[in-house]
Structure 1
Amino acid sequence: MQIDPGLYQRMAAYNNWMTNKIHVAADQMSDEDRKQDRGAFFRSVHSTLNHILFADRVWMNRFFEKSYKVNGMGVDIFDDYLELRQAQQDMCSDIITFADQLSVSWLAQTMTWTRSTDGVSRSRPRWLLVTHMFNHQTHHRGQLSTLFVQAGIDIGVTDLPFMPDLISDFGG
Structure 2
Amino acid sequence: MSDVLPFRAMAYNNAWANHRLLTACLGLSQDEFTAKRTGFFPSLRATLNHILIIDHFYVDAMEGGTLGPAAWANEEPCATVAALKQAQAAVDRRLLNVVEALDAAGLQRIVSVHRGTSIQRERMDRLLLHLFQHQVHHRGQAHSMLSGTSVSPPQVDEFFSAGEAPLRATEFAELGWTEEQVWGVPVSD
TM-score under structure 2 length normalisation: 0.77
Q: Distance in 2 between matches of 1:30 and 1:161?
A: 28
Q: Distance in 1 between matches of 2:186 and 2:157?
A: 16
Kept in 2, the 8 Å contact 1:115–1:121? The answer is: yes
- Superposition deviation, residue 95 in structure 1: 1.4
Q: Is 1:30 matched up with 2:47?
A: no
The percent of aligned pairs where both chains have the same amino acid is 22
Q: Which moved more, 1:105-114 or 1:123-132?
A: 105-114
Kept in 1, the 8 Å contact 2:113–2:121? The answer is: yes
Gaps of 5+ in 2: 162-167, 169-178
Where in structure 2 are the equivalents of 1:38-117 lying within 5 Å? 38-66=37-65, 70-72=71-73, 75-116=75-116
Deviations 1:8-53 (A, max 9, x none): 2111111121111111221111111101110211111111110000
- Superposition deviation, residue 66 in structure 1: 4.6
Structure 1 residue matching 2:100: 3-state secondary structure = helix
Q: Distance in 2 between matches of 1:152 and 1:79?
A: 19
- Superposition deviation, residue 147 in structure 1: 0.6
Q: How many residues align?
A: 166
AA matched with 1:146: S
RMSD over aligned CA atoms reads 2.4
Structure 1 runs (4+) greater than 4 angstroms displaced:
66-69
Q: Distance in 2 between matches of 1:5 and 1:23?
A: 27
Change (3 A) 1:67 1:33: farther
TM-score under structure 1 length normalisation: 0.84
Q: Distance in 1 between matches of 2:28 and 2:36?
A: 14
Change (3 A) 1:32 1:152: closer
Deviations 1:60-91 (A, max 9, x none): 1100135777233x811222332222111111
Gaps of 5+ in 1: none
Q: Distance in 2 between matches of 1:21 and 1:161?
A: 11
Q: Distance in 1 between matches of 2:46 and 2:8?
A: 27
Q: Distance in 1 between matches of 2:66 and 2:87?
A: 14
Structure 2 residue matching 1:122: 3-state secondary structure = strand
